[in-house]
Amino acid sequence: MLTINQPAPNFSLYDAHHVLHKLDDYKNHWLVIYFYPKDNTPGCTKEACALRDDSAKFEALNTKIIGISTDSSKSHINFSQTHTLAFTLLADPKGEVSRAYEALFKLGPIKFSKRHSFIIDPSGKVAKIYRSVSPSIHSQELINDLQQLQAEYKR
């Protein structure tokens, strides 16, 4: 069971441009990893666009954002370009990373990432876990929690 203050599960996934991303690439930054079910669906689009619209606030908080779903890199390119997303989307077609973060839903041949999010601190530890996410308010919820976590982290 994934818990607060434990090392975040490592990952090695490709983005829409076939660039490999690993958890270690984000050391010394705060990181939001948000899992979502499917590109170009209403809830996923709402959540991604809210994160996009708040990108300056995340940047001011030294925070990178990564979206992960079981969709393909090709699907991510379309989703990212259609909605002008400035953050990275990673393809997890086998669901291995989603499973490591306990965000994989699997029913027979059907599998997708559940809408779960995680804040990872600059040392690579899980700082916050979200198992119930509302796409319309989640971006602001992340910002508020990042501000609080960062204030505590400095102490």
> What Å distances lie between residue 12 and 68, 74, 120, 126, 153, CA to CA?
12, 18, 16, 17, 27
Whether 29 contacts 122, CB under 8 Å = yes
- The answer to whether residue 49 is catalytic is no
Residue in the block written with tokens 């086998």: 94
User: Which of 23, 33, 44, 142 is labelled catalytic?
Assistant: 44
CA 9 to chain centre: 13
Strand order in the sheet with 63-69: 20-22, 12-15, 88-91, 63-69, 30-35, 117-120, 126-130
Strand partners, 110: 107
Whether 155 contacts 69, CB under 8 Å = no
> 70, 84, 78, 3: which is closest to 36 by C-alpha?
70
Please list the active-site residues.
44
